Amino acid sequence: MTSHATRDRRYGTAARPALSMNIGPTRLARRVRSRLAEQPPPLYDDAFLIAYGECLRRMRVVLDAAGATVFVIPGTGTSALEAAAANLIPAGSTVTVASTGQWGDRWAAICERLGLRTYVVVATPGEAADLATLERFLTDQDSGVLLATHVDSSSGVRTDLAPLQEIAHRHGAMLLVDGVCAAGAETVRQNANRVDVYITSTPKALSAPAGLSILSLLPAATAQLATRNWPCVNYSQDLQSWLPVMQSMENGRFAYFQTPPSNLILAFAEALELITDEGITNRVARHRRLRDQLHDGLNTLGIDQLVTDPELRANGVTVCWYPADHEAGFLNQVREAGVLLPAGTHPVRGVSTFRLGHLGNVTEDDITRTLTALEEAIHAPGGGKP
């Protein structure tokens, strides 16, 4: 038996701190962390401007979005979603949300707050939203915008963007995709899949500190933004004001709209350099390989997943049903075994599920430790299984 004297419940042993398999924030490389401790450079500093430009250029590679306009601005994933909606959807429009969990609901909440007529097509938990139903809403309700989540971290569902873009564009609707839990871990083909606006943020598979909102606009969306003749209600998020700043930064010249969070930019540039060194294709393949290793182990342990169709399983997040007889104390038992796992957050299945984040700088050793801890928890005294 492990006593509390030798093992801190939250941080593991002194020799081996607990492993956090969270969705975000994810583990940072030392090189990335050290940029946060630097004195902020002057904003016209050449090295800073080069770092900013690299963030914009390298995000185009991560998203396979040559020719897109990339915005890297202060904010979270949520504020990036809000910026997209507030800048590209005129008040009074009708929108349709393909909801695969918590984040589809957030898309809807943002749109409702902006006064948009919002229809939500809710997927069966663990499945993708029904395409025929989505198409019916786009036709019957004359929705000008389709909003989707690439990977929903509450369900673990990865939505195939190819059929979504087909129905959106067939009905003349714009496609906006929340890729906060996908970029850096999944294959993203913004150009090929004609995702008008792809939205993400730093603290998940991009392995950088939280605090930067990222939006990538295909040329049609950029043109729509540039010629917009109605005001964005969110002054600080007005992408018309940010547009010349991003263009200027990419060309190595400082321009001002608001003070950029310079240390976050430096840290993000460092994280993107590591991603570039690994290669985005290799990075996605690593996520897939580690996911398969995790899923094989879960099968062996008899732990079932919410997502049953392997084609819909995300590379970087897994949502599992609690093992039989283990619900309440299970995550505490896993923590006793040295691994911190987040509880479920799905609007309907949250109470019966727990989650595993395997995003960013995850290693084979992390997966092995996680499976060992899960096995230990299943067999823990009082754990329920005979």
Question: Which residues are at the interface with ligand PLP (CB under 6 A)?
Answer: 24, 76-78, 103, 149, 152-153, 178, 180-181, 201, 210
Minimum CB–partner distance for residue 103 and ligand PLP (Å): 4
Closer to ligand PLP at the Cβ: 154 or 165? 154
Closer to ligand PLP at the Cβ: 178 or 366? 178
Minimum CB–partner distance for residue 199 and ligand PLP (Å): 8
Closer to ligand PLP at the Cβ: 359 or 380? 359
Closer to ligand PLP at the Cβ: 49 or 307? 307
Minimum CB–partner distance for residue 281 and ligand PLP (Å): 22
Minimum CB–partner distance for residue 67 and ligand PLP (Å): 25
Closer to ligand PLP at the Cβ: 136 or 349? 349
**Cα separation of 186 and 170, whole Å?**
25
Minimum CB–partner distance for residue 178 and ligand PLP (Å): 5
Q: Give, in degrees to the nearest 5, the angle at Cα 215 between 355 and 190.
A: 80
| Residue entry with tokens 């994810």 | 26
Greatest Cα pair distance in the chain: 68
Minimum CB–partner distance for residue 48 and ligand PLP (Å): 24
Closer to ligand PLP at the Cβ: 77 or 360? 77
What SS3 class is residue 185?
coil
Residues 6+ apart with CB under 8 A from 203: 24, 25, 26, 209, 210, 211
Closer to ligand PLP at the Cβ: 24 or 350? 24
Closer to ligand PLP at the Cβ: 76 or 293? 76
**Cα separation of 315 and 189, whole Å?**
16
Peptide bond into 25 cis (omega under 30): yes
> What CA–CA distances, in Å, run from 278 to 228, 284, 290, 331, 359?
39, 10, 15, 33, 15
| Residue entry with tokens 């969070």 | 261
Minimum CB–partner distance for residue 358 and ligand PLP (Å): 13
Give yes or no for a contact between 39 and 232, defined as CB atoms under 8 angstroms apart: no
Instruction: Note every long-range contact of 7-16, with CB atoms under 8 Å and residues 24 or more positions apart, other chains counting.
Output: 7/336, 7/338, 9/335, 9/336, 10/335, 10/340, 12/338, 13/338, 16/338
Minimum CB–partner distance for residue 210 and ligand PLP (Å): 6
Minimum CB–partner distance for residue 25 and ligand PLP (Å): 9
Please give the residue whose beta carbon sits closest to ligand PLP in the complex: 77
Closer to ligand PLP at the Cβ: 144 or 316? 316
Minimum CB–partner distance for residue 18 and ligand PLP (Å): 21
Torsion angle (degrees, nearest 10) of CA 128, 134, 135, 139: -170
Give yes or no for a contact between 359 and 204, defined as CB atoms under 8 angstroms apart: yes
Residues 6+ apart with CB under 8 A from 382: 329
Closer to ligand PLP at the Cβ: 127 or 376? 127
Residues 6+ apart with CB under 8 A from 145: 88, 89, 93, 94, 95, 96, 173, 174, 175, 176
**Cα separation of 141 and 107, whole Å?**
18
